[in-house]
Amino acid sequence: MALDQTRCALIIAPHPDDEVLGCGGTIKRLANAGADVHIAIVTKAGEEAFGPDVARIGREEAALAHACLGVRATHYLDFPAAALDTVPHATMNAEFGRLIQTLRPDTLFVPFLGDVHRDHQLTFLSAMVAARPRGGQGPARVYAYETLSETNWYAPGLTPAFIPNVYFDISDTVDVKIAAFTMFSSQIRAAPDERSLETIDALARLRGSTVHRSAAEAFMLLREID
Amino acid sequence: MALDQTRCALIIAPHPDDEVLGCGGTIKRLANAGADVHIAIVTKAGEEAFGPDVARIGREEAALAHACLGVRATHYLDFPAAALDTVPHATMNAEFGRLIQTLRPDTLFVPFLGDVHRDHQLTFLSAMVAARPRGGQGPARVYAYETLSETNWYAPGLTPAFIPNVYFDISDTVDVKIAAFTMFSSQIRAAPDERSLETIDALARLRGSTVHRSAAEAFMLLREID
Amino acid sequence: MALDQTRCALIIAPHPDDEVLGCGGTIKRLANAGADVHIAIVTKAGEEAFGPDVARIGREEAALAHACLGVRATHYLDFPAAALDTVPHATMNAEFGRLIQTLRPDTLFVPFLGDVHRDHQLTFLSAMVAARPRGGQGPARVYAYETLSETNWYAPGLTPAFIPNVYFDISDTVDVKIAAFTMFSSQIRAAPDERSLETIDALARLRGSTVHRSAAEAFMLLREID
Amino acid sequence: MALDQTRCALIIAPHPDDEVLGCGGTIKRLANAGADVHIAIVTKAGEEAFGPDVARIGREEAALAHACLGVRATHYLDFPAAALDTVPHATMNAEFGRLIQTLRPDTLFVPFLGDVHRDHQLTFLSAMVAARPRGGQGPARVYAYETLSETNWYAPGLTPAFIPNVYFDISDTVDVKIAAFTMFSSQIRAAPDERSLETIDALARLRGSTVHRSAAEAFMLLREID
Amino acid sequence: MALDQTRCALIIAPHPDDEVLGCGGTIKRLANAGADVHIAIVTKAGEEAFGPDVARIGREEAALAHACLGVRATHYLDFPAAALDTVPHATMNAEFGRLIQTLRPDTLFVPFLGDVHRDHQLTFLSAMVAARPRGGQGPARVYAYETLSETNWYAPGLTPAFIPNVYFDISDTVDVKIAAFTMFSSQIRAAPDERSLETIDALARLRGSTVHRSAAEAFMLLREID
Amino acid sequence: MALDQTRCALIIAPHPDDEVLGCGGTIKRLANAGADVHIAIVTKAGEEAFGPDVARIGREEAALAHACLGVRATHYLDFPAAALDTVPHATMNAEFGRLIQTLRPDTLFVPFLGDVHRDHQLTFLSAMVAARPRGGQGPARVYAYETLSETNWYAPGLTPAFIPNVYFDISDTVDVKIAAFTMFSSQIRAAPDERSLETIDALARLRGSTVHRSAAEAFMLLREID
């Protein structure tokens, strides 16, 4: 199915802002084309580990960013941030499964298995279980997205590398993507940090130029059924 | 772009029948949906190496098979069969490039780099050159297909393995695919040969059941721009 | 050692029926040739997660299937199903180690690391620890088997792919394999489900035809010492 | 050896401008630090294939670019461009071997095996032969560099992917790199072409930000002996 | 940076003796050249699992070995041996992070992700998190080392293989390495055990001869910033 | 089939001595157990490239070495050494095919695709074509062997790595292997060259100790049919 004919897309993000870094321009394109776009934020920053305000701020920022991007609904799963390895695998699988069975997305975006953050890895693993094509169910298209400050910091030659095979043209939405990321004022860093606006822009330009577009987001297709 | 919205597809086959083994059911789906489907047969069986009639028979069989499948046109490139390593790389690139610039397919199917036959490997390499997205040109979607009696006979762990990420449902066209292959009477072998009708059927059933369909053809997506 | 000269084989199955899907025809060949074949069922379906009868039914079915196949003994390790990630790694290692030290199999079959089910992955990891050739001990041959509805549902390009290098001819035992799987009436699904009898048959035919046999089971050899 | 202590570096470039795209900033750093930097241009654009002026223009542009970068000497090997597959492997090996034995570089930069251009692949293969550590000879450090419009256009999952493990900080030399590329006026393209100044800049920024530097060039280390 | 210009190196070893097996000769070279070499021993053998004296003996042996090698300081992290999977990932990350922030090593050595021991794998994963180049921090060079009786016992084709790209010449220090390992009298085994002095010597000779040196230790470079 | 029950083995060696470096101890075990062992030497050193005596000397040395090892027959294919890329692929395939059809080996040993020498790579590719299991023919077991001074000199992360899964115990024949290599007086180098007797010994000890044997040769199994 062409991107612009997507009926319902679900983006699973370990932490608020991952969905914008990886798919912000694509989300806006999907919303513009009339798709229902849902975001699932997997974790919540616990007070003990992160202080009293981090979770609240993250949600406020996400609300603003998601409004920019035309997101239909944001789902907070409230698993403990930076501690998904303490959650039983079956518990996460079940929660993701419920979400997929409720929303019935035809298109699913998951974080990349090779990201250095264990929360990203475990989110990937549970999402792949929930997305199985058992009984003809499961999303028809599953993509992994890249996340600045996670994807490029792992172990070359030992952990999976992000080698994209899909490029979504975001020439018309890259500005909104960057505007949406600007809402995460607690997360923006000055260049040359990977989480700077300049680096987000550089990545979009590079991914775009690979396919002769002004800007693009790149993905690894994991499964398509047509 | 969804398969059924393809405007023009080009299947590059090293030898006649590869296109049917790898994409027969998909070709028929494409033709049914109104796409222009073109086949390029890369090689011609030389008289010296293969005897006087092999080339002629192959073309007659292909003509029948392609008629079954609703192919728009078949293009014979006439490079020497089982001898593509004696053809300069630039010569093949140029020929493939001309074909792509003439037909402007939005969807391209190429044989698999990991096939044991050197003709398949070299066809893949030149096709990837011709399909580059330079200047915004090149097909928007490029897939590698699998070929019974080639793909499963290479070197596990050393040469590329066929690990599909795309499944096209051929439940409604698998019978035509098998009928089309039946036209290649010079190529059919009795089971348990991989080139038997039984094995073609078994592969279609297996690939289908992976995504809960009666029959499917599986592919590796190499590039999609949308 | 040739398959038919195996003295003692141990198949480690995360859940009842995995051993039949992956190795059923090979098990029967081994038993026919006089080997002692042992099955270790790693998990037990807990009442809370799976209902009161699932574990009992699974064992009754396994008993019938294993009788079909000529299995010498079935060992139930009773770790919690779909929850092996909650069991300490050392605990599983120790249990597998005890079994291997007791039975001293020369041939070991383990599930595939790239299966989508976490129980399969963790079973693989502990089995590889228990099978180490430390001090000259450990099985002389270790194989990973494929499991329909697990092996083909993972992440192409990111998680390990099943790329077989060993084919055991089950032309004479594929019927018994399918009969044995029929005993798992709680697990059989109608085609085109991967766990259907038709798909089991299609896979056996495909794997067979790759090596010009009527039916085969395929494996990845992980270690052989001779 | 730290980059700034390099005595003699050799960059092997299939065509003029590859060395600047892949290593321009690093070359300037090396020159600034006092290293002898040599460039070997492997091919020459033949008149028949490329027209009467291409070779001459390429050399004039290279001369200007290399002057910018402080290159000590440029070596033209004059193998036929876009036709290295017609040159015997041993002939290229011998030529590269002579150069390495004459210059005795401690640091060698080679194009990336996974580039889509066959000339790049064959240059890599011969360079690796010439760089063997036989008899204690050969460069102490060998790196592969990435080339815009070659490295990102190959076959994800089938051909080698560029997964860098070395980052050379070019914050102070990226401007000179871009100035040097500007000398190749026959090669510059407008954005969003990969060979545009904007994309060269975007790549440098992205590679830099991965390691928190304003700009970097990324490499794959193939061998280091210390 | 050349090895002999290292300011401060940290070797993270899951259990006492891993650091000697993997890096003993390199440690001595570093110490000889004036670097501060720190060892972090991640685990402690618990009394319940290993008996009352194992932890004490391991430390006494390590103290002798580290004295041989000129180690500046040894840091005992006291996580439970053979049970790192029961420690929250964030806890290990934090401990490794503190060590790196305190010592500010420019060079980090970590065990290999593909070792069969889960403690090695989890040590690797946490070390890579702690070594991220966030904010310009983190070691400038990160290497994975190989460990006899761990690295060669895993799953070929399924788990990461140790494919070295860096060779440190230990011709002058291999004798001290072996002497240091001799201090671990509780760990030495008779040949042909991998933990025998003969095998340590054979590996050093083999790795050396690959680069025409009398003895070497081999590593995989994971990241270098220069 | 266990090694000691092999009926007929064929070792394909690009140049004389590769077969001894990779399989010498295994050849002797096979001969001792009564197998017919055939060696095919693929290339002949041309006078122009190598001087007048190299080919003659190589054969005399091989004759002595093969006598040591109990080889039944040595087949000289006389393709040009260091120039297999100038031989049409089909020509080599045909020659290898004839040999396999004549000898009908049940066990085939081929050089490793990842060796740095192009002759090794091309020998591998043609041997895999000739060994296809088409029509139920082809050897039941195909192994790749490692070659000192070739296998360890290629491109980590880019070209295939030798990751063995089979270990043949040569404790009783390693001395004969080394004696056989001593016959190649034109090829022996002093340590620490990889082609020294010391390195051959170190490799045998290391491979052995991995599986707790005094000496072993390691292989990658590419196909086994049983």
Distance CA B13, CA B99 (A): 13
- What single string gives the DSSP state of each residue in chain D? --GGG-SEEEEEESSTTHHHHHHHHHHHHHHHTT-EEEEEEEEE--HHHH-SSHHHHHHHHHHHHHHHHT-SEEEEEEEETT-GGGS-HHHHHHHHHHHHHHH--SEEEE--TT-SSHHHHHHHHHHHHHT--GGG-S-SEEEEE--TTTGGGS-TTTS------EEEE-TTTHHHHHHHHHT-TTT---TTSTTSHHHHHHHHHHHHHHTT-S-EEEEEEEEEE-
* Lowest pLDDT segment from B46-50, E190-194, F82-86, F142-146: B46-50
What number is the average pLDDT over the span E109-121?
98
- b/e burial code for range B50-64 (CB count within 10 A of at least 16 → b): beeebbebbbbbbeb
Nearest CB to B194 within list C161, C194, C210? C210
The candidate with the shortest Cα–Cα distance to B225, out of B110, B61, B107, B69, is B107
By the CB < 8 Å criterion, does B220 face chain D? yes
Q: Which pair of tokens denotes residue F115?
A: 């060796």
F192 secondary structure, DSSP code:
T
Neighbours of C119 (CB within 10 A): 25
Instruction: Give the model's confidence band at F6: pLDDT under 50 very low, under 70 low, under 90 confident, else very high.
Output: very high
Distance CA C155, CA A125 (A): 9
Q: Are B90 and D49 in contact (CB under 8 A)?
A: yes
By the CB < 8 Å criterion, does B72 face chain A? no
Distance CA B47, CA B14 (A): 17
Nearest CB to B194 within list C194, C209, C214? C209
Q: Are B213 and A225 in contact (CB under 8 A)?
A: yes
Asked whether the beta carbons of residue B191 and residue C209 sit closer than 8 angstroms, the reply is yes
What number is the average pLDDT over the span B58-72?
97
Q: Which residues contact E57 (CB under 8 A, 6 or more apart)?
A: E186
**Would you say residue A136 has pLDDT above 90?**
no
The candidate with the shortest Cα–Cα distance to A114, out of E126, C162, D152, C159, is C159
Give C185 to chain B, closest Cα distance, Å.
19
By the CB < 8 Å criterion, does C157 face chain D? yes
- What single string gives the DSSP state of each residue in E18-65? HHHHHHHHHHHHHHHTT-EEEEEEEEE--HHHH-SSHHHHHHHHHHHH
Q: Which residues contact A54 (CB under 8 A, 6 or more apart)?
A: A45, A186
Cβ-based contacts of C157 with chain D (< 8 Å): 156-157
The candidate with the shortest Cα–Cα distance to B115, out of B79, B145, B154, is B154
User: What average pLDDT does the structure give for chain E?
Assistant: 97
Residue with tokens 């020369």: C106
Distance CA E48, CA B102 (A): 75
Give F206 to chain A, closest Cα distance, Å.
23
Distance CA E161, CA E153 (A): 10
By the CB < 8 Å criterion, does D195 face chain B? no
Q: Which pair of tokens denotes residue B20?
A: 């049917």
In percent, the amount of chain C with pLDDT more than 90 equals 97
Nearest CB to A202 within list D156, D161, D206? D206
Distance CA D1, CA C193 (A): 58
Exposure on the CB side of residue E27, measured as CA atoms within 13 A:
33
Which CA distances in Å does F119 have to D90, E11, E216, F12? 10, 41, 29, 12
Asked whether the beta carbons of residue B160 and residue D156 sit closer than 8 angstroms, the reply is no
Give C209 to chain B, closest Cα distance, Å.
5
Q: Which residues contact B88 (CB under 8 A, 6 or more apart)?
A: D83, D85, D86
**Would you say residue F2 has pLDDT above 90?**
no
Nearest CB to E132 within list A116, A118, A159? A116
Distance CA E148, CA E173 (A): 18
The candidate with the shortest Cα–Cα distance to F64, out of F30, F24, F106, is F24
Could you read off the pLDDT tens digit of each residue along chain D, which spans 226 residues? 689 999 999 999 999 999 999 999 999 999 999 999 999 999 999 999 999 899 999 999 999 999 999 999 999 999 999 999 999 999 999 999 999 999 999 999 999 999 999 999 999 999 999 999 999 889 999 999 999 999 999 999 999 999 999 999 999 999 999 999 999 999 999 999 999 999 999 999 999 999 999 999 999 999 999 9
Q: Which pair of tokens denotes residue D94?
A: 């011998």
> Taking chain F, what is the end-to-end CA distance rounded to the nearest angstrom?
7
Asked whether the beta carbons of residue C136 and residue F224 sit closer than 8 angstroms, the reply is no
Find residue C75's DSSP bridge partners.
C40
Nearest CB to B2 within list A5, A133, A167? A5
Give E127-183 pLDDT, tens digit per residue. Answer: 999 999 999 889 999 999 999 999 999 999 999 999 999 999 999 999 999 999 999
- Residue C78, SS3 per DSSP: strand
Q: Are F139 and F131 in contact (CB under 8 A)?
A: yes
Q: Which amino acid is at C188?
A: I
The candidate with the shortest Cα–Cα distance to C36, out of C75, C71, C74, C77, is C71
**Would you say residue F1 has pLDDT above 70?**
no
Q: Which amino acid is at B57?
A: I
By the CB < 8 Å criterion, does B153 face chain F? yes
Instruction: Give the model's confidence band at C1: pLDDT under 50 very low, under 70 low, under 90 confident, else very high.
Output: low
Please, what sign has the CA dihedral across residues C163, C165, C171, C174? negative
What number is the average pLDDT over the span B84-98?
98
Neighbours of chain D (3+ CB pairs under 8 A): A, B, C, E, F
Give C182 to chain E, closest Cα distance, Å.
31
Nearest-Cα residue of chain A relative to residue C114: A125
Q: Which pair of tokens denotes residue A81?
A: 């941030």
pTM score of the predicted model: 0.98
Distance CA F80, CA C137 (A): 47
Distance CA E125, CA E203 (A): 26
Residue E71 phi, psi (nearest 5): -70, 135
Neighbours of F86 (CB within 10 A): 12
What number is the average pLDDT over the span C206-213?
98
By the CB < 8 Å criterion, does E90 face chain A? yes
Interface test with B, best of A106, A110, A142, A165 (most B CBs within 10 A): A165
By the CB < 8 Å criterion, does C202 face chain E? no
Q: Which residues contact D102 (CB under 8 A, 6 or more apart)?
A: none
Cβ-based contacts of B156 with chain E (< 8 Å): 157
pLDDT in the model for residue E136: 87
Cis peptide before D156 (omega within 30 of 0): no
Asked whether the beta carbons of residue F209 and residue E196 sit closer than 8 angstroms, the reply is yes
In the C/D pair of chains, how many CB contacts fall below 8 A? 3
Q: Which pair of tokens denotes residue D225?
A: 């002996």
This model of the complex carries an ipTM of: 0.97
**Would you say residue B1 has pLDDT above 70?**
no
By the CB < 8 Å criterion, does F88 face chain C? no
Give A192 to chain E, closest Cα distance, Å.
9
The candidate with the shortest Cα–Cα distance to F19, out of F60, F56, F69, F55, is F69
Q: Are D82 and D119 in contact (CB under 8 A)?
A: yes
- What single string gives the DSSP state of each residue in C126-191? HHHHHT--GGG-S-SEEEEE--TTTGGGS-TTTS------EEEE-TTTHHHHHHHHHT-TTT---T
Residue C168 phi, psi (nearest 5): -100, 125
By the CB < 8 Å criterion, does B1 face chain F? no
User: What average pLDDT does the structure give for chain F?
Assistant: 97
Distance CA E93, CA C127 (A): 27
Cβ-based contacts of F112 with chain B (< 8 Å): 158
Q: Per residue, what are the HEC states of C91-141?
A: HHHHHHHHHHHHHCCCEEEEECCCCCCHHHHHHHHHHHHHCCCHHHCCCCE
Distance CA D23, CA D200 (A): 11
**Would you say residue B81 has pLDDT above 80?**
yes
Instruction: Give the model's confidence band at E1: pLDDT under 50 very low, under 70 low, under 90 confident, else very high.
Output: low
Asked whether the beta carbons of residue B157 and residue F135 sit closer than 8 angstroms, the reply is no
Give F157 to chain D, closest Cα distance, Å.
8
Distance CA F72, CA F54 (A): 24
Neighbours of D185 (CB within 10 A): 11
- Residue F1, SS3 per DSSP: coil
Q: Which amino acid is at D30?
A: L
In the A/F pair of chains, how many CB contacts fall below 8 A? 3
Give B108-124 pLDDT, tens digit per residue. Answer: 999 999 999 999 999 99
- Residue A202, SS3 per DSSP: helix
Exposure on the CB side of residue C158, measured as CA atoms within 13 A:
27
Instruction: Give the model's confidence band at A1: pLDDT under 50 very low, under 70 low, under 90 confident, else very high.
Output: low
Distance CA D76, CA B118 (A): 33
The candidate with the shortest Cα–Cα distance to D94, out of D83, D79, D109, D82, is D79
